[in-house]
Amino acid sequence: MTEFSTWDILCNLLLATRWTILLSLATFLFGGIVGLILLFMRTGKRRALRRFAWDYVELFQGTPLLMQLFIVFFGLSLVGLNVPPWLAAGLALTLWTSAFLSEIWRGCVEAIAKGQWEASSSLGMGYFQQMRWVVLPQAFKIAIPPTVGFSVQIVKGTAVTSIIGFVELSKAGTIVTNATFQPFVVYGFVALIYFALCFPLSMSSQFLERKLNVAHRNH
């Protein structure tokens, strides 16, 4: 019987952590891109696009991430598309993330005073010019804290992907536990690693929120 030291356990978990980090970064990047597109659709003037964005957000916010993951991974295979676990995980998390980010950013855009829209419109700016030069630069400052805060949910959300066989930190914890029969040690390390990933993001979100609020009051 092979003996696993505490260091062996930790090393294996840290190797799997890189996939959790990479999946989180890819999800945040692509989810942000899709979320920005949804933001423009939701705040634009075309009713059909606003309706589509609203339905999209309601669908992905109103259903469990686990169910979305199952549909992407198993549903696509039913129509002849064999999706590898990493691709299914990235796609499902991207769709889920984009729905939440678009709503966070929409709230920030709507927080901008109506007079800003009216003033820029009086200068002859179109919708995209208003968003690019007037609204988004102001909304960006408001959006930073909740966006950073939501990144914590993305990191924790990657744990769900273990159910389809993607070997991230949570899945690695299960594999190492089966090999070592030391669940308390293994999942203790798993919890500490998740904490090490999420705590700095959470603190950054709170710090940025306080800093921006102070700057706003001083202004």
Say if 72 falls within a structural domain.
yes
**pLDDT tens digits, 89-128:** 999 999 999 999 999 999 999 999 989 888 888 888 888 8
The reported pTM is 0.91
Question: What is the CATH number for 77?
Answer: 1.10.3720.10
Question: Mapping DSSP to helix (H, G, I), strand (E, B) and coil, where does residue 84 land?
Answer: coil
For all residues of the chain together, what is the average pLDDT? 92
Q: How far is CA 27 from CA 42, 69, 86, 117, in A?
A: 21, 13, 11, 32
Q: Average of pLDDT values for 174-185?
A: 94
pLDDT band at 17 (very low <50, low <70, confident <90, very high): very high
Q: How far is CA 202 from CA 12, 14, 165, 192, 198, in A?
A: 26, 21, 28, 15, 6
Q: What is the 3-state secondary structure (H, E, C) of 94-154?
A: HHHHHHHHHHHHHHHHHCCCHHHHHHHHHCCCCHHHHHHHHHHHHHHHHHHHHHHHHHHHH
- Indicate if the pLDDT at residue 1 is higher than 50: no
- Indicate if the pLDDT at residue 216 is higher than 70: no
Say if 184 falls within a structural domain.
yes
Say if 132 falls within a structural domain.
yes
* Residue range of the domain that includes 212: 6-218
Say if 1 falls within a structural domain.
no
Q: What domain count does the chain have?
A: 1
The pLDDT, as a whole number, for residue 209 is 80
pLDDT, greater one: 78 or 65: 65
Say if 60 falls within a structural domain.
yes
Say if 199 falls within a structural domain.
yes
Say if 69 falls within a structural domain.
yes
Say if 114 falls within a structural domain.
yes
